[in-house]
């Protein structure tokens, strides 16, 4: 697993990732932080739980495709 860099930021402060991704703290309310992300359209940005669902769906689809191919192979 990669190392994590922990940074402190206040509202309206940003961090830059690489040359073209900017993460800005928009608002802090209690324990909730609202962030804005500017990234090229070619770079997908997902909430972590959505990304995990996509990965699981892709894994299931790949498994189904392998199963279907094996069934067709042994007909």
Tokens of 62: 């790949």
Q: Which of 24, 27, 6, 5 minimizes the C-alpha distance to 14?
A: 24
Residue 16 · residue 24 · CB < 8 Å: no
Burial class (CB in 10 A: 0-12, 13-18, 19+), 40: exposed
Q: What is the pLDDT of residues 10-21, one digit of tens each?
A: 999 999 999 999
Would the pTM count as exceeding 0.85? Answer: no
Q: What is the pLDDT of residues 23-52, one digit of tens each?
A: 999 999 999 999 999 999 999 999 999 999
Q: Which residues pair with 2 in a beta bridge?
A: none
Q: For 16, what's the count of Cα atoms within 13 Å in the CB-facing half-sphere?
A: 3
Domain boundaries, the chain: 1-41, 44-75
pLDDT category at 62 given cuts 50, 70, 90 is confident
């Amino acid at each position: 697993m990669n190392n994590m860099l922990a940074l402190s930021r206040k509202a309206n402060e940003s961090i830059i990732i690489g040359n073209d991704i900017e993460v800005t703290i928009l608002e802090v309310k209690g324990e909730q932080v609202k962030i804005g992300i500017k990234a090229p359209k070619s770079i997908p940005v997902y909430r972590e739980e959505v990304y995990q669902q996509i990965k699981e769906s892709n894994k299931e689809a790949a498994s189904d495709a392998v199963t279907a191919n094996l069934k067709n192979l042994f007909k």
